Amino acid sequence: MVEVQEKPTFVYFWRVYNRDFDPLVKIGMTTDWGNRVIQLLKHAESSRNHWPDWLQVACIEEHSLAGLIEGGRETEKYLHKKFAKFAMGFEWFDYNDECADMIDELLDEKCLCSI
């Protein structure tokens, strides 16, 4: 019997910008960030996404990965609750100064990678 090794899972903080709107951050989970960001950008072009209004029309002008931390579904759920006061729906959060500071503090402690 061949043992299948699971890929490690990570929680990511993906920031998106548009000069006409406040920046947002998506807190999600992945095993492969490179592939995930391609999926996210394709999804932004879809008229069937349920993202905040300006993302529905695929107006992302800039985007960046704030960082990755180890964790799976439970970590992601915990972080969604922790950032609930910034929630915009569907794993999206208002990336205001307070939210950014909280994310920076978390990443200072636990970040595996930042770009």
| Predicted confidence (pLDDT) per residue in 34-71, tens digit | 999 999 888 887 777 777 776 766 678 899 999 999 99
Say if strands 62-70 and 87-89 run parallel, antiparallel, or are unpaired: unpaired
The pTM of the full predicted model, rounded to 2 decimals, is 0.86
Size of the chain in residues: 115
Residues contacting residue 48 through CB under 8 Å, at least 6 positions apart: none
Residue 64 phi/psi, 5-degree rounding, is -155, 155
Whole-number percent of the chain with pLDDT over 90: 60
